[in-house]
Amino acid sequence: MTDDLTHSLSVLSKLIGFPTVSDQSNVDLIHYIMAYLDEFDVKYHIFPDSSATKLGLIAQIGPNVEGGTILSGHTDVVPIAGQVWSSDPWILTERDGRFYGRGTCDMKGFVALALAAVPQFVSAPLARPIQLAFSFDEEVGCLGTAPLLTALGAHFPKAETVIVGEPTSMSVVTGHKGGLGLVTRLHGKAAHSSRPDLGASAISHADPLIQWHSARQKQARTSSYANGFIPPFSTVQVGTIKGGVALNTVPDLCVFESDIRYMPHETASDWVDEYRALVGVVEEAMRTEYDDAHIELEVTEDIPAMLPEPSGAAEGLARQLTGDNSDNCVSYQTEAGHFQAAGYSTVVCGPGSIEQAHGPDEFISSNQLRQGQAFMERLITALC
């Protein structure tokens, strides 16, 4: 094992220099990766998003057979707007053994380590392939995962295991909650507030729907499971709400957004179907006041949970590579749920701490980079 981080840091510095916030293009970053892979004659396939302003990339090193390992990472990062940084977030900066920059931890550090290991991957006598899968738009609902999975199935032999390199401090995470984002739009009828009988208040009718969130949260608290999640139950909240134009006008519109983080033993349809049934009841009540009243329900985010696989190939491989035998589950979502739903044995394991993600002065430590680098070297041995 080598402790020399020179090459890994060189690649990471390049990646940090691309400001790939989710609302911006990542094409320049992908072109850099393509040129880098070309140096080693590595086969790869690129695929665009629907607007053709973003690209994903899949590469393969080793024999063209099934049973390999996917190293999965996203190329987009969260915004820096409104944050005060001690150094330029788009320039990798080292201070006291920490490397600062937007995306160092989440999750260009892992992507850089995988790319830096390519020369070793290429020269190793791999019996099973290593596939690199780099997506876009993970930070805005894992929108790039579906086209990535389609491209994987169309152009590459199926891997046995997937390591999603989100920051876990190199601990093996075997499960995470699912995520639902909902937007509810209630359309009523405006009227003067002195004659509410002539209108249909969208805000008043939103009340039972909003109260459902509070009631379901209280109910969920009584159904906790001792399985490593913090908190050990599903969470439900209304995050934003808008409605009305003036205090003396019956509001004809109310819009609110819901965030539901559900446990792996539950499904998105469990939650959506229950809520949709209540929406139907409220809509009927609105129409007794105004025939054209209606409610729109939009699912804006649907990220599957990742279930622990106690005897799964990915868990066994990750524990072999890290020596970590602890049980770890997290409440945030990753692309791992999509991989698992597509039939891949999947875990989450990568350098850096989630505590450093998304905030100002995001960093990854040299120790975490060394652990991640050793992980890549051990992966070669496991696949030879």
Residues annotated as part of the active site: 76, 138
371 contacts 170 by C-beta, under 8 angstroms: yes
CA separation for the pair 109, 351 (Å, rounded): 7
Tell me the chain's radius of gyration from C-alpha atoms.
24
Strand partners, 186: 254, 295
Burial of 220 (0-12, 13-18, 19+ CB in 10 A): buried
CA separation for the pair 51, 254 (Å, rounded): 31
Amino acid at position 240, single letter: T
CA separation for the pair 329, 171 (Å, rounded): 10
